[in-house]
Structure 1
Amino acid sequence: MAHVIPVDIFEQRGQKWSFYHSNLDAYLSRTSQESGPKSTCFVFAESELLKNNDPRSAPLHSKLQKFYGMPAEIWSNVHWEANGYFGCRDGDLDRHDTWFRFLVKQLIKGGDPTRQFPMDYDYKWYKMGFFSTWSQSGHKSILCLDCPQDLIISVRLSLDNCSNDHFLVDPYSFHQIIIRGIVNIYDNSIWTIRDVVRDVEKAGYRKDLSTGTVASNTTQSLQNRPNNRKPEPNFDHLHEAGRHVIHSTETLIVATQESERIMVRQRERMDRLTNAAEEEKRCMIQIGDNLRFYHGMIYAFKARSESMQARHQSEIGLAFNTVAQYHSRVAVEDAAAMKVIAALTVAFLPATFVSAVFSMSFFNNQGGDDGWSISDKFWIYWAFAIPLTIATVILLILGSKILRYL
């Protein structure tokens, strides 16, 4: 049994756009059989029942390939899991088919107060696929798969304000509407990821050495945080946030290249239409200008994402260096304590050595009385111990200075 795939359709007949629900198979059958003036349609559907070459979808695949002109291998996992592409088929100037794909990673702020950032952020992937067909004397339609509701709303608002003449002269009139909505999705995505990066820059967990409690300095940068606290950065969280930034940069790099290819292809097709009327050329020039504008926006998002990636990597490096500096300070304090112990050892070692060498017994309580008696040779101990102690301390001080210059 063939799959039934629900669709939402924006359809233009005359100068008005209408919205209605149907299913994909019924839409393809009705549109293929209709006679007279052809409508312009935006068709929104989910791809779950179309991908992975499911045998039950084979009849629908065949209809889609015939209607939209996409390649047969488009349903394979290789194409379905790609992070973006653009392709087209232009057999003649009357018909032009395209297929393209955009990916966006959207972070969603979680509501669990027990989880620290960025683990309190959930995320979803928008893996949007588009297939358009345009014929000057025939069908004008674009199939939009797996689009978020924000994009559908953006398309609807754009259709209320755009010139309907664009769809009559240029197949890339679809693309300017779609990319305009995708720009808005990228804008929302990039700002939520920016919030995560900013939280990383503001967080900086340190343990107070006097109380043993962990405090978060959320209002100052890591560079200005007090040094009397033990740094305890959560590197798992840092790398989790970094993963989101890297994915954002990856998708925007591909989106920038993809929008550029769409822009170039639209220009190439316009240059081939040497006999087009002046009004049609003005429409195509305007569409090209719109595509260039949106390409510039996506490029700006890419630059911002790359900047955020560099900032976040700097924070990770700063966290490592802060921990290393703290351990260095602790090591210096330990070394100072060891110096005190060494100095005390040096002070008592010569006298102990003299006493051991001479085996001197300078005290005697065997005289029969109640007191201790001191040997009249006790001065010999001091005569050796004091100069030897002084000489040892001097040699230790001079030796450390000499070693610094070697």
Structure 2
Amino acid sequence: MNPVQVPSTESTQHIQESDQTKPTIETPPDLGKKPKRTYKAIHFIIGCLILITLISIGATVLWFSMGLVAVRPDVPVNGEVVEVKESSSLEDIASQLAAKDLISDKTVFILYAKFGPAHGKLQPGPYLIKPTSNIKQIVSNMAAGKIAISKITFPEGITINEMAKRFAAAGYGTKDEYLSAVKKLAPEFGFVPTFAQDNPEGYLFPATYSFTINSPADVLVRQQYEAFATNISPLIKANRPANLIEHEVLTLASVVEKEALTTKDRKLTAGVFLNRLALGMKLESDVTVNYTTGKTQTTPGDIAIASAYNTYKIRGLPPTPIDNPGTESVEAVMNPTKSDYIFFLAGKDGVVYYAKTLPEHDQNIKNHL
């Protein structure tokens, strides 16, 4: 049995001394960790930056959205014409719109026109912009080239002077501008006789016309002459009665236009006038006198006036048409209803009464006027 060896006191002491002489490193509890206050500060700064960014984005979006809104969306007004030229920049267009109070922010217009669907490509031309239009609508119309179109209607039987008044009343120009264009352009069209060029009544076709807004009167008047060349001139050439020249057909048609309202009465009335001309009788038409006086009713004093348009005084037709007739009245003269009637009158009831003799006509006057 081996004896147990007990360490000597010297060895034990050496070990204890070695333990005691080993250096001890104390680590501070927070070393290597960021203080909580630093984290909070960073989070606060980041949060503020995000908030500021969001507010800025929101403000920009709101500013841009408000800029797109119509200036006065609830006020229906006629609007203003804005002219986009080939050389116009987005800045030029925006300045025009802002000057006329049609947009609230030029920058918004420029940005939307440049970076929106139009990609900065706006078509030249005149545009009618209303305060009820927003920037999106304005840019869309300009990108699509939806230029402002004017329309005017001239009914059958209207005179040149009345056309000029309508033109001026619609705001397309002055009465004198229209009348000047009528006379200036007349010689360009061969169907207008030389003697009628100073007063080309009858040669401006009555219809509805469209033209670019702000166009000079020449544009409209040229359309009217061209429409006559298309609708009336070939019609007369193809069916003109042998005893009337083209100008006379048009002149008689203008009288029929004023005297009769229906197709039936136009054809009968044309027949009456042709019968009277064939018999060498005066037309004795009130409407030719009214062309001179400017009235709608004829008085005994009017019938007595000396005028080339007073068919109570002259034989045959007036020197020019007394209005601008439609195709129906022209056709009525070339294809009248044949009869023995040489008188007619429009009764108080709106019915037209015809007579073959003066006594019959006098009776119609007694019964229906």
In terms of fraction of residues, the more helix-rich structure is 1
TM-score by length of 1: 0.21
Bigger Cα Rg: 2
In terms of fraction of residues, the more strand-rich structure is 1
TM-score by length of 2: 0.23
